[in-house]
């Protein structure tokens, strides 16, 4: 036991006052002999022991009264064996849930507003000299300050400016970050407080989290106190847009795109007449009305097209009344291409229609131009013979196709190598004219050349011997063939491949995109430098297969070529926390002094979803520049602008698991706290009360006061009883 007002505890010595008075009164009487004394001697002998016991009991009660009064004024506290910290400063880390579920409103206030109020009350109550760190958990741990600070008022001011709406919380990573921060702090008293709505999705692996955290705490020389504080009320009414689905094929100006929005009602109550709006670059394009049954999902389809090339943002918004508005919106970024320039190198040209090596391929890539219709083709082709390959020619194209080209000169190989290394795409078709020995020596070069695979022996119905093969019908993972996972888009296995070369990929970078039913690779791809090379085992004309005669030949060739042209472009739709990366060209990048240019690379600006503008520096990468932005923890649209006003849009999205607004109930929260060896506080007031007890112990002055009153009443009763006339 200890005392908050320890000097007053010495007042307990006042118990000696009635004892001294008793002793003094006892020694002050005189003996007087009188005649009738002998008549009382028998009575005194009989009652002497009782008199002494009564006086001793009354004395003890009178001595206890001043002692209890002094103890009450000294404010005793029970401490057990722990050392009291008192008002000593504390090292405190607050893990503040900033995920988008904290925007859930109830009774006019959001969960996040309640969390901010709780955090501010706790911070404001810290002792002078305490060091404080606040880490947001939404989208991954993000410290509020670069390092813990000692100014609690500054922390409160900064907390009041925070907003929620970030990605889903990773509580394992956030707790690790909180403990790591505490380990670097200076005070002996350490607190880790988690303020969250405690959704089941964030604690789905609670057992694993508890095991890892307890092990980490046990290894710390100074163990912190862990407290869980749940904020906000239970809410169930919520409708969310789960995702947007659309074809990932490259899209040109004026081409149609179908966007499917998936909506979900997370409550039991059906939603009538929900208004769903499609916006493109902020402008409303179309509206749909739909109804949603309770705990059900539905879809709505929006057709659209784009009139200008470049980066665009599509958004779908649902206008409904629910507890969480943040997930009533979903966005995606699209790149619309003006045209993709493709160079076709014909290894066996012919003046007869559809007799040249690239004739069928040219028609497949530009069907509208050959049909002379008003629709525009995304691909623009130019056909040349192999002797025309020059570096200055390749500079105007994104894709080069070698179709049955026998061989090339060394300077042409060097030109192709530089073209691919600097973000070009090369598509190589086999054929009857190719010199496989030359290809293997110069273009494969034991795995160090451009080709992803070595040409082996010819196979198929050669000289009417052997057997034909077919493409294996499978689920394609490569983006160039994903289009054919839908049966309505064509069945590649119906084509007959009569002749082909065995392809032998021997490098780990080589990826087999498609196979024949005998196990031989048909399409093999590898990255080379900043570019990509795809090798085809058969020819692109009708001599070795009936592919050009199949209805799917046009979309297949367009998918192969456009995917090769665009797949090296960094993704514009990313997950929260992933970097936003843009590649662009700049005239200054060709200056000879690369070192000086790297030091003075152009600056780009990026606007975040909350409207903040930041500046990032680009980095030279070959003949292009790379800009990289890491701060994408908040879901939404990020707009990056180059010095020449070219814009790139990025959309960061997060898991929609938090759209289910259920939270851990009291029993589950208690079970989680037990697993983490933590305490649960339902309010900042309860936390502060618990913290007060940890710092000062449990005050028992109220119980001492009750004891004092009881002894005063007992003294009065005993005095009346012992002083009455006895017969």
- Check if the beta carbon of residue 423 is closer than 8 Å to that of residue 624: yes
* Mean pLDDT estimate for the chain: 87
Q: Are residue 311 and residue 450 in the same domain, yes or no?
A: no
Distance from C-alpha of 673 to C-alpha of 459, rounded to nearest angstrom: 67
Residue with tokens 């909180």: 178
- C-alpha torsion angle, residues 110, 111, 112, 114 (rounded to 10): 90
pLDDT band at 351 (very low <50, low <70, confident <90, very high): confident
Q: Are residue 310 and residue 450 in the same domain, yes or no?
A: no
- Check if the beta carbon of residue 623 is closer than 8 Å to that of residue 391: no
Give me the pLDDT at residue 599, please.
59
pLDDT band at 416 (very low <50, low <70, confident <90, very high): very high
pLDDT band at 167 (very low <50, low <70, confident <90, very high): confident
262 in a structural domain: yes
575 sits in the region (left: phi over 0; alpha: psi -120 to 50; else beta) called: beta
What are the pLDDT digits (tens) for 221-248?
888 999 999 997 777 789 999 999 998 8
pLDDT band at 579 (very low <50, low <70, confident <90, very high): very high
* Least-confidence region, from 59-73, 103-117, 174-188, 555-569: 59-73
- What CATH number corresponds to the domain at position 388? 3.40.50.880
Give percent of the chain above pLDDT 70: 90
Mutual angle of helices 111-124 and 152-159, in 10-degree steps: 170
Name the residue among 315, 317, 316, 275 with its Cα closest to residue 292: 275
At 667, list the tokens: 């029993």
Name the residue among 404, 410, 412 with its Cα closest to residue 434: 404
Q: Is the full-model pTM beyond 0.85? A: no
pLDDT band at 590 (very low <50, low <70, confident <90, very high): very low
Q: Are residue 578 and residue 541 in the same domain, yes or no?
A: no
334 in a structural domain: no
**Residue 21, domain extent:** 2-29+38-83+700-722
Give me the pLDDT at residue 81, please.
46
* Least-confidence region, from 2-6, 148-152, 288-292, 524-528: 2-6
3-state secondary structure of 721: helix
Distance from C-alpha of 583 to C-alpha of 572, rounded to nearest angstrom: 11
Distance from C-alpha of 132 to C-alpha of 155, rounded to nearest angstrom: 8
Q: Name which residue leads in pLDDT, 394 or 567.
A: 394
For residue 8, pLDDT beyond 50: yes
List C-alpha distances in Å: 538 to 201, 278, 382, 437: 50, 44, 22, 17
Q: Are residue 459 and residue 482 in the same domain, yes or no?
A: yes
* Least-confidence region, from 26-40, 64-78, 559-573, 642-656: 26-40
- What CATH number corresponds to the domain at position 216? 3.40.50.410
Give me the pLDDT at residue 28, please.
54
446 sits in the region (left: phi over 0; alpha: psi -120 to 50; else beta) called: left
Total domains, the chain: 5
Sheet strands side by side (includes 613-617):
573-575, 647-653, 636-641, 603-607, 613-617
Tell me 439's DSSP state: I
Give percent of the chain above pLDDT 90: 52
- In this structure, the number of other CB atoms found within 10 A of the CB of residue 45 comes to 9
For residue 46, pLDDT beyond 50: yes
For residue 102, pLDDT beyond 50: yes
DSSP for 316-334, please give it: EEEE---S--TTSEEEEEE
For residue 624, pLDDT beyond 50: yes
For residue 726, pLDDT beyond 70: no
Mean pLDDT of 299-320: 93
- Check if the beta carbon of residue 148 is closer than 8 Å to that of residue 68: no
Distance from C-alpha of 253 to C-alpha of 377, rounded to nearest angstrom: 9
680 in a structural domain: yes
Strand 425-429 to strand 399-403: parallel, antiparallel, or no bridges (unpaired)?
Answer: parallel
3-state secondary structure of 719: helix
Q: Are residue 446 and residue 579 in the same domain, yes or no?
A: no
Distance from C-alpha of 148 to C-alpha of 182, rounded to nearest angstrom: 9
Distance from C-alpha of 43 to C-alpha of 45, rounded to nearest angstrom: 5
Q: Are residue 119 and residue 219 in the same domain, yes or no?
A: yes
Q: Are residue 495 and residue 430 in the same domain, yes or no?
A: yes
What are the pLDDT digits (tens) for 486-516?
888 899 999 999 999 999 998 888 999 999 9
Q: Are residue 49 and residue 64 in the same domain, yes or no?
A: yes
């Amino acid at each position: 036991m200890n005392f908050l007002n320890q000097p007053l505890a010495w007042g307990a010595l006042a118990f000696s006052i009635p004892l001294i008075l008793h002793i003094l009164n006892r020694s002050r009487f005189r003996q007087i002999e009188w005649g009738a004394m002998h008549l009382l001697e028998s009575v005194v002998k009989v009652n002497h022991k009782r008199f002494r016991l009564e006086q001793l009991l009354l004395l003890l009660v009178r001595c206890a009264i001043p002692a209890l009064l002094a103890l009450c004024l000294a404010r005793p506290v029970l401490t057990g064996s722990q050392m009291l910290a008192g008002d000593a400063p504390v090292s405190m880390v607050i893990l503040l849930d900033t995920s988008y579920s904290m925007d859930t409103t109830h009774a006019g206030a959001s969960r996040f507003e309640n969390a901010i109020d709780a955090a501010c009350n706790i911070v404001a109550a810290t002792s002078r000299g305490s060091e404080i760190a606040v880490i947001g958990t939404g989208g991954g741990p993000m410290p509020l300050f670069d390092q813990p600070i000692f100014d609690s008022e500054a922390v409160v001011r900064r907390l009041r400016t925070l907003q929620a709406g970030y990605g889903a919380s990773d509580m394992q990573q956030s707790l690790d970050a909180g403990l790591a921060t505490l380990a670097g702090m200076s005070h002996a008293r350490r607190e880790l407080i988690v303020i969250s709505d405690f959704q089941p999705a964030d604690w789905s692996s609670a057992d694993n989290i508890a095991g890892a955290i307890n092990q980490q705490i046990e290894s710390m020389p100074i163990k912190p106190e862990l407290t869980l504080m749940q904020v906000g009320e239970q809410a169930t009414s919520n409708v969310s847009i789960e995702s947007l689905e659309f074809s990932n094929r490259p899209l040109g100006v004026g081409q149609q795109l179908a966007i499917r929005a998936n909506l979900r009602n997370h409550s039991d109550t059906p939603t009538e007449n929900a208004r769903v709006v499609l916006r493109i670059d902020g402008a409303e394009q179309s509206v749909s009305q739909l109804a949603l049954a309770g705990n059900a999902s539905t879809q709505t389809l929006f057709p659209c097209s784009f009139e200008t090339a470049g980066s665009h943002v599509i958004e779908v918004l649902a206008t409904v009344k629910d507890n969480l508005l943040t997930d009533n919106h979903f966005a995606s970024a699209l790149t619309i291409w003006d045209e993709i320039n493709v160079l076709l190198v014909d290894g066996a040209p012919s003046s007869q229609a559809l007799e040249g090596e690239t004739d069928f391929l040219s028609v497949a890539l530009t069907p509208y131009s050959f049909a002379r219709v008003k629709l525009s083709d995304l691909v623009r082709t130019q056909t040349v013979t192999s002797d025309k390959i020059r570096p200055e020619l390749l500079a105007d194209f994104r894709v080069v196709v070698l179709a049955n080209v026998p061989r090339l000169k060394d300077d042409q190989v060097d030109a192709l190598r530089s073209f691919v290394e600097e973000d070009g795409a090369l598509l190589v078709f086999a054929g009857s004219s190719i010199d496989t020995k030359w290809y293997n020596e110069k273009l494969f070069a034991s795995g160090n050349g451009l080709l992803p695979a070595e040409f082996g022996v010819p196979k198929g119905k050669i000289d009417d011997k052997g057997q034909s093969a077919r493409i294996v019908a499978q689920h394609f993972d490569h983006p160039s063939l994903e289009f054919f996972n839908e049966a309505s888009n064509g069945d590649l296995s119906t084509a007959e491949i009569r002749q082909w070369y065995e392809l032998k990929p021997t490098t780990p970078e080589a990826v087999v995109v498609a196979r024949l039913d005998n196990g031989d690779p048909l399409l093999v791809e590898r990255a080379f430098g900043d570019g990509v090379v795809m090798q085809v085992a058969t020819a692109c004309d009708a001599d070795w297969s009936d592919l050009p005669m199949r209805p799917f030949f046009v979309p297949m060739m367009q998918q192969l070529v456009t995917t090769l042209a665009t797949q090296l472009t960094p993704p514009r739709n990313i997950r929260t926390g992933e970097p936003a990366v843009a590649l662009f060209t700049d005239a200054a990048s060709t200056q000879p002094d690369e070192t000086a240019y790297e030091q003075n690379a152009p600056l780009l600006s990026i606007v975040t979803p909350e409207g903040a503008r930041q500046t990032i520096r680009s980095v030279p990468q070959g003949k292009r520049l790379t800009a990289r932005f890491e701060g994408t923890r908040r879901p939404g649209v990020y707009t990056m602008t180059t010095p020449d006003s070219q814009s790139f849009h990025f959309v960061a999205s997060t898991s929609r698991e938090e759209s289910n607004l259920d939270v851990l109930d009291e029993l589950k929260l208690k079970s989680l706290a037990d697993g983490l060896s933590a305490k649960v506080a339902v309010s900042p007031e309860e936390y502060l009360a618990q913290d007060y007890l940890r710092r000062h112990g449990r005050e028992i002055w109220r119980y001492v006061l009750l004891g004092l009153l009881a002894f005063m009443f007992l003294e009065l009763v005993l005095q009346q009883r012992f002083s009455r006339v006895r017969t």
